[in-house]
Structure formats: C-alpha cells, structure tokens
Structure 1
Amino acid sequence: MRRRIASEPAGAEGTAEGARRAKVDAFVRRHFTWPGTLRLHGAALGFDILRAPINVMLSPILLLARAGAWICRKLRWGRAADWLADRRLLLRTAVSARVEAAILGELLDVPPAPGKAIPDRAAMSRAILAAPQFRAMIRSQGSVAGAQALADRITGAIGDYTGTRSSIAEFTTGLVTLAIGAIVFQALTPGMISMAPGVAGAVSRGTAVAEFPLGATLGGVWYGVFAVGPSPALIVATVAGLMLLGSVIAAFAGVIADPVQVRLGIHRRRLMRLLDTLDAEIGGSRDRPFAAREHALARVFDLWDAAVSVFRAFRG
C-alpha cells in the first residue's frame, strides 16, 4: 500500500483515510472559519494589496500554462509537460505564505511551527528535506539532485494549492461588483471595467447638477432632461480608482469566501486533492498533478465583463 501523508498510524487503509479526513477537517475549521480566517488575513495588510491585482493579471497565463501541460502530457511530450507544469507565475502573498506554513506544520508535520510564515519556497524545500518522516523518501531518490527535485515538486504542488486563493478572491470580487451594479445601477457589472461607465456617469451628473448656475434643484431637473455624459479622462480615472478598490477587495475576499467554502465542503475537497497529489509525488508518479480548476472559474467573469463592455460599445 502506498504511503499516505497527513494520517495517523492505522492498521487499515480505511482507518487511515478516516484519520486523514479528520485531520483535514480540523485544519479547515481552525483556519478557514471565523475567527481563523480573520487572523489569517491580518497578513494581507501591506503589500498583498499590490500583489492581488498582479496575480489577477497573471492568472490567465497560469491557466494557459497548465492547460498546455495537460495537452503535452496527453501527447506524451513529458519534458515539455513537466516544464509547463513547473512554471510558478503567481506572486506569493503573505496570506499564502501563512497557509503554506500551516499545511507543512499541521498536515505534513514539517517544522517550522504552525502558523508562522516561511520566507520563501526555497526555505520550504529545505524544511521538507530536513523533516525526519521524509528521510526514507529522500534516500530512495538516489542522489541529492533527485531529492531536491522531489522537495521542489512537493513545494510546487503546495504553491499551486495556495495559488487557487487568488482565483477565488477574483471570483468573489466579481460577485461583489455584480451585486453593487445590480443594487446601485440596476445593471449587469461583472467587473470593474463594466462598472466604470455607470460610476463615471453618476459622478459627471452629480458634478454638473452641483455646478448648475440656477441651483442644484433646477440642475437636477435640467440634466434629467438633457443628459450629460462623462469625459474620457473621467472614465479612465474611474477605471483606475475601481481597479484599486478591486485590489483591496481581492486581498481580503477570503474573509467572505473562506467560510462559504467551508460550508460547501470545498476547502476539504481541495485539500484532499492536494494530499492525493503529494502521495503521488512521494510514490514516484507525476500523473496526478494538482488541478487548479479555480483559475478557469475566475475567467467566467473576465469573459462576461468583456462581452458586456463590447455590447455597450456597439450599442453606444
């Protein structure tokens, strides 16, 4: 029977699987429900607000790389598939660093202490190589380079797992903008770009009414009949401001998304997928890479936002 990680010693595979599930469930409750997720996102106060929009832009490229790796593997182009699968394109956020440290410390029993961020992925690899429970696995690689490559693949799989948080944050931000657009503008606004014309129009009309020579009351009547449109400069400034707001929302979106995913069982299933991938890596197989489906989910709002913007441009 292939060795399974994140489980207590057991005499049967079913018992071991149950212990693994219990350990994962405890991990999920500790970190992804309130107040655990609030503590986790305390790390987002800082440069994560800048990293979040960059990861949003890099996420489609990562999706293409993973799709390319899958295609190459089906075509038996192993070297190309491995190269594409090993690309780490997303920036490592402070929240992701905390989650990675918690996975190592609490699910894999690898030092350092749980809950403390690890400086970089190289430090993660060193921690894995130094862990007593992985010594037999490391010796089985036959060389230092082989052991390092295995540790890097384990680290990469964990990084792919935490990278899904950026896509879920992007998806959550899309839901927030959709709700705001429906309530405030009575329009479909699946993204900041599609929301910008409505916000810019409201600002433009409010400014025109306030500056109307005969007073704001008559100004409201006048511009209710003779509509005033926003200038291109105002639209550009509005897009920039909304993108900044979106980056802040994305950095802290997990505070909303994490408890919902716990309730739906998504966090547990995603962690179980990760542990299955790590089992496969330890067993010497690379045919079960961690599937980051969430990156494709986030693209739904991108396509919708682009379609809405194109439709409005043609209609205008």
Structure 2
Amino acid sequence: MTPAPDADAALIAAAQGYFAARRAMVPGFVSRTFGLRGTLRLHRQALGLDILRAPVNVMLAPVLILTRLSALASRKAGWSRLADWLGRRRILLATDVARATERRIVVDLLQLPWADAAGRSERDALAEAMLAEPALRALIARRLEAGIEARVARTLGEYSGARAAVAEMTTAMGTLGAGAIAFQALTPGMISLAPALAAILAQQAALAAFPLGGLLGSMWYGLFPAAASPWLSGAVILGLMLTGALAAAFAGIVADPVQTALGIHRRRLLRLIDALEDEFTGSGRRAFAAREHYFARLLDLADAGLATLRMFRG
C-alpha cells in the first residue's frame, strides 16, 4: 500500500526538523572538537599506526582524484552504475584520527547509532524525531531501508578525505615558509625544497673533506660551489617526502584551530548535513564533495613544476 502524500510530507517535515537541529549544534560542536584542546585529544590517536598510514594516504591521493574524475566523466556519459560504483570507492586508508572524528560527528553531532572498539552509542535522534509523530511510525522502516546508513558512511568517508587533504596543504605551507626563510625561494612542497637542501649538504660535505682546511675550503667552494650528486638529491627528496607524510599525520593540530577560527569547519559540516538531508528527503543528488583534494594536487603540480624549472636552469 502506497503511503498517503500527507503522511510522506509529514515524514519529510520531521526529518527536516531533525537536520535543522543538527545545524544549530554545529558551532558548539566545532568549538569542542576542533579547537586546540579538542584537536589535541583527537590527534593522540595518531601516535599509533597512523604514522604508517599517513605516507600511504599521500601516495594514494592521486588515485583518489583519478577515481572521482572518472566517476564524474562516467556520469556525464550516462554510465550511472559505473559512476555510482566509482563514487563508493574509499581509496584512502581509514586512520585512527579519521575514525575518532567520524565517531564524534555521528554520536555527538548527528546523534545516530554507532558501534566500534571504543564503545557503542544507541541514541537515534532521527528516529526519535519521527516517532514523535505517531502517524509516521509505519513509514519509518521504508525510509530507513533506502540505505541511509550506507550513505552516511560514504559521506563521512569523503569528509575524512577532506581533512587528510587539508593536512597535506598545511604541510605544504610549512615547507613554503621554510623555503622562504632558509633559502629565500618559493618551495610549495618537498620536491622543490629538496634541491636547495641537497646543495647545502653537498657544500658542507665538500668543506669537511677539503684537504687544505676549512678556511681555504670556504674560499674555494665560495667561488666554485659543490654540486649535489643525483644519489644525494634523490635521498634528500625521499627523506623529505617521508618527513612531510609523517608530519601530515599531526598537521591537524595546527590546521584544525585555524579552520575553526576561519569558519571552514563550520561551513564544511553544514555542507555535510545538507548532503545527508538531501539523501533522506530530496533527490539524493546533492552529494558531499571534498574540494580540498584538488587544491592539494594543485600544490603538488606547482611543486613539481618549480623543481623541474630549477633543474633546467641549473
């Protein structure tokens, strides 16, 4: 039997009231979770296996971008099943920090059921909002069976990916500042920072090995600077990339309070709630998209481009 239109409209109205209440909770949630104290509590989780997962996620990030672009192209071509399949792929490894963040969003902000190794929460504010209307009880199962739980999980995965991309950008800003201070050069990433650092290491090694002493060595290599070998340059690039990937695991300690102050966390969570509301009450086409991945990859391209330009100039 098809539900009456007025009952279905009441169901949607109850759900809209639930999502409106979630939006009102966002400012307080952001302050508690992503302020300095909150992010320090979150990043205690990064002291474990996240140190190994972070470098892998940096390497997987281009695969994620390729998957998302392929999903978009497939949808434009009319291959909706392939687009949906690609869109459901969760390429990045789930870190402990991401899981802790997702738990807080689900339990504290969305107030939906959650169970993991850290514990179980049975609160279901969405069902409570519907059960407040007795006429809607018969319709609750039909609406929940539409796969809202899977869609919440997929949306949260995209949200966690956005946080990982912001961590990468924060690390890139760190290398940019280090290059400006130490080398007076534009270094938006580890690849463009590596040649300058390799040149300094080669110069120091040459001075230490100069047979006529440090003073004469300084004079000689001041006129004829030592060149870094390809092996040294490669080792420095690899070491810096690993260092940057490890730093990304903890970069949120800096990035979260800044994003909180700028309102970025608030706007991102509101977009997430908008997407979930559309999944439940609308067309389901207003998906949450993590734009930060694309900005992070633009920084990678700039980094590689500057390094290539300096190599040809050198």
TM-score by length of 2: 0.85
After TM superposition, give the deviation of residue 300 of structure 1 in Å: 1.5
Alpha-carbon distance change, 111 to 284 in structure 1, aligned in 2, over 3 angstroms: same
CA RMSD between the two structures: 2.8
2:313 to 305, 312, 315: 315
Match of residue 47 from structure 2: 45
Q: Equivalent of 2:248, from 238, 247, 250?
A: 250
User: 2:22 — aligned with what?
Assistant: 20
User: Residue in 2 aligned with 1:275?
Assistant: 273
Residue identity matched to 2:186: L
- The CA deviation at 1:70 is 2.9
Displacement of 1:207 in angstroms is 1.5
Task: Letter of the 1:33 partner, please give it.
Answer: G
C-alpha distance 208-28 of structure 1, shift in aligned 2 (>3 A): same
Equivalent of residue 59 in structure 2, options 43, 57, 81: 57
Deviation at 1:262, TM superposition (A): 0.9
Q: Secondary structure at the match of 2:36?
A: coil
- The DSSP-based 3-state class of the residue aligned with 1:140 is helix
Q: Which structure 2 residues correspond to residues 212-231 of structure 1 after superposition, within 5 A?
A: 212-231=210-229
Deviation at 1:6, TM superposition (A): 9.4
Q: Give secondary structure in 2 for the equivalent of 1:35.
A: helix
Mapped partners of 2:218, 2:122: distance in 1 = 66
Matches within 5 A, 1:1-316: 2-3=12-13, 17=20, 19-112=21-114, 118-119=116-117, 133=128, 139-141=141-143, 146=145, 149-283=147-281, 285-316=283-314
Deviations, residues 199-253 of structure 1 (Å, cap 9, x unaligned): 1111111121122222222211111112111111111211121112102211111
- CA shift in 2, pair 1:279/1:166, >3 Å: same
**TM-score normalised to structure 1 length:** 0.85
Match of 1:12 in 2: none
Out of 173-182 and 205-214, give the one that drifted further: 205-214
Which structure's CA Rg is the greater one? 2
Alignment check: 8 A CA contact 2:259 2:265 kept: yes
Paired residues of 2:111 and 2:125 also in contact (CA < 8 A): no
* Distance verdict in 2 for CA 1:129–1:91, change over 3 Å: farther
Offset at 1:78?
2.0
Alpha-carbon offset, residue 71 of structure 1: 3.4
Deviation sequence 1:137-180 (CA, Å, 0-9, x none): 761158xxx55x43212111111111111100111111111111
One-letter amino acid of the structure 1 residue matched with residue 82 of structure 2: A
Equivalents in 1 of 2:77, 2:303: separation in Å? Answer: 34
The 3 A distance-change label for structure 1 pair 35 and 128 is: closer
- Structure 2: state its 5+ residue gaps: 1-8, 132-136
